[in-house]
Structures are given as structure tokens and as C-alpha cells.
Amino acid sequence: QRDLLTVGEALVSLRSSGPLAAGGPLSMHLAGAESNVAIGLARLGHRAAWAGRVSDDELGEFVLRQLRAEGVDTTDVRRDPQRPTGLMFLERRTADVSRVRYHRAGSAGAALDVDDLRAPLAAGARLLHLSGITPALSASARDAVTWAVRAAAESGIPVSLDVNYRAGLWSRADARATLTPLAGYASVVVASTDELDLVAGAGADERAVATDLLRRGVSTVLVKLGADGARAWTADGVEQVPAVPVTAVDTVGAGDAFTAGYLSGHLDGLDLTDRLRRAVALGAFAVAGHGDWEGLPRRDELSLITGSAAG
Ligand code: KDG
């Protein structure tokens, strides 16, 4: 059985080393919040599957090759002969400032629909992971995600939802209207502090949001605190772990790595503290290396930068 099924849009990311307007070389990478999570889990030896749509051309082939090379199960990926794979330009504008520009409207990934998810949900998994990006892509993608959380609930598959608010895709009001009901189906909700108001009708106060989510059936609310680590709210109270101190070179993908670490700990049956430790350890690997996922550890590397119980 699959340990994890995740669904979303995988993108081709073109990274610059300087201002885009000045041109210069771009390097080609796989990006996508959910595929990053799948890779994080596969690197740690879990059976992770990613489902979604990619174009039926070289870019779709690139996405599939990258995922397969990382050991991610792509059995349920659909090739869309009509639509392109979405692109993302990641511009290193200055040493400290990076900017993202999407070319993803009308992409294959955004055309995801319920029929794309029937087979992977029927195949079953120990966990289903979704992000708040997918429902922002199109009406059919929103319907697909809504269908998937309900199907998972009916089959007893726990859902994790990472809010991942993307201001370039939708307004906060639209995100709140869609994500607040979706979060009620999740057993794990992951958010950064500035995303808390998007998953509960309780404003932005962390305790109030966590209380509301727990009351609605969520078991664990994870709040990412960046360099300050992370907090988890459960029925037993609140627990915080510090971040692993590393030299940060690229924060893109850190949240996905954090989620992958937490879910890996869950799959391994670790207690909450050790799940959080593994989550911040993976976050540290992500920020200490370039790329969304390239720096993520294999299992035998977990202790490399942590010296903690994360392994
Ligand atoms: O979490 C990293 C993502 O931002 C990146 O991989 C692309 O999924 C992506 C998005 O929509 O921003």
C-alpha cells in the first residue's frame, strides 16, 4: 500500500541567478509544493505517489522523469495533449530578494478534475496530502480537491492540508471561503502565522484558530515559525520546537520539506515531539541548499545537520 498520495500541479521552474530583465542563463528545475512533499517522503524511503496532469510534451516528460528519478510513484499522472505544463520563473533579483512569476493559467495542471483522482483515491494510501494551492488553480481543480477530501474521509484516509497561500493566484477572501471548510476535513493542518486567518472563522489569533480547528475535528495544527521553529496544537495542548540552526541560502521549498518531515514522522509512528523535530530538520535541509527539494536528505543523512533525535 502507498504511504502517501499527494495531488497538485507540478511546474517547471526556471531559475535566474540575476535580474530577469537583464536576461542571462536560466536553469530548469521541477517545482510544485505537493511534488516537493512527495520527493521529501520518497527520499526517506516512504512509498509516495503524486497525481496530477502534465503536458504531453518534453516539459511533461521532464516532470515525470524528475519524479521517477526520485522514486515517486507516477502511475496515476495524466498526460494532457491540449495544455502546456505551467512555468514558474524564480528570479534572484538581489542576493537577498527572490521573486516568483507564474505562467500557469490554462495549464495542464490547472485542468485537474475529479476524474483524474478517482483511480488514485481508489488505490488507497495511509495519508492524503493536499495544499491550498490546488483549489486556487481552477473551478475543476477546486471541485477535485473537495471531492478528494470527502472520498478520503469516507475511506478513512487521514488528510493533511498545507495552506500555502499564493497571493498571485487568489485573494485572501476567496482563499478563506474555500480553505476554511476544506480544513474541517483534515486531520493535520499546516500553516504559517500569516495564513491562520484563512482556515477558520476566528480571525488571526493563533490560539483561537487552533481551538476552532480542533473543535472541528482536526487532530494537529502545525504553525511554522521559520527561524523560530514550529508549534503544534493538539487536544493535549501546545508544543514548540526550535529550528535547527543552519546557514540559509534558499528558503523556497522549506515549508514543503517541513510538511514532508512531519508526515514521515507520522508514518514512522514517532511521537509528536519527534515528528516536529524531523519536520524542522527537513526544513533546515531545504533552506541550507539551493532548489525546492534538491537538498532534502535520504534517511541515512538525517543526522547530518541535526545532531538531534530527528533520525
Ligand atoms: O513551495 C514551493 C512552491 O512555491 C513551488 O515549488 C511552486 O507550487 C508552487 C507554487 O505554486 O508556488
pLDDT in 10s for each residue of the chain, 311 residues: 999 999 999 999 999 999 999 998 999 999 999 999 999 999 999 999 999 999 999 999 999 999 999 999 999 999 999 999 999 999 999 988 899 999 999 999 999 999 999 999 999 999 999 999 999 999 999 999 999 999 999 999 999 999 999 999 999 999 999 999 999 999 999 999 999 999 998 788 999 999 999 999 999 999 999 999 999 999 999 999 999 999 998 889 999 999 999 999 999 999 999 999 999 999 999 999 999 999 999 999 998 886 544 44
Residue 285 belongs to a domain: no
Query: Cα of 32 to ligand 1 centre, how many Å?
Result: 4
The DSSP secondary-structure symbol of 157 reads: -
Decide whether any atom of ligand 1 lies within 6 Å of the 47 Cβ.
no
Residue 49 belongs to a domain: yes
Q: Report the nearest atom of ligand 1 relative to the CA of 11.
A: 7
Our CA dihedral for 235, 149, 272, 32, rounded to 10 degrees, sits at -140
Residue 180 belongs to a domain: no
- Sequence-ordered list of residues with C-beta below 8 angstroms from that of 184, at least 6 positions apart, any chain: 213, 216, 217, 218
Residue 29 belongs to a domain: yes
Query: Cα of 256 to ligand 1 centre, how many Å?
Result: 9
Residue 149 belongs to a domain: yes
Give the residue, out of 7, 11, 169, with the most ligand 1 atoms within 8 A of its beta carbon, to mutate for a pocket test. Answer: 11
Strand 127-131 and strand 159-162: the pairing is parallel
- Which ipTM score applies to this complex? 0.94
Residue 289 belongs to a domain: no
- CB burial of residue 133 (10 Å; 0-12, 13-18, 19+): buried
The catalytic residues are 256
Domain count across the chain: 1
Q: What is the CATH number of the domain that holds 11?
A: 3.40.1190.20
State which residues form the domain around 60: 4-126+145-155
Residue 298 belongs to a domain: no
Decide whether any atom of ligand 1 lies within 6 Å of the 197 Cβ.
no
138 is written with which cell numbers? 481552477
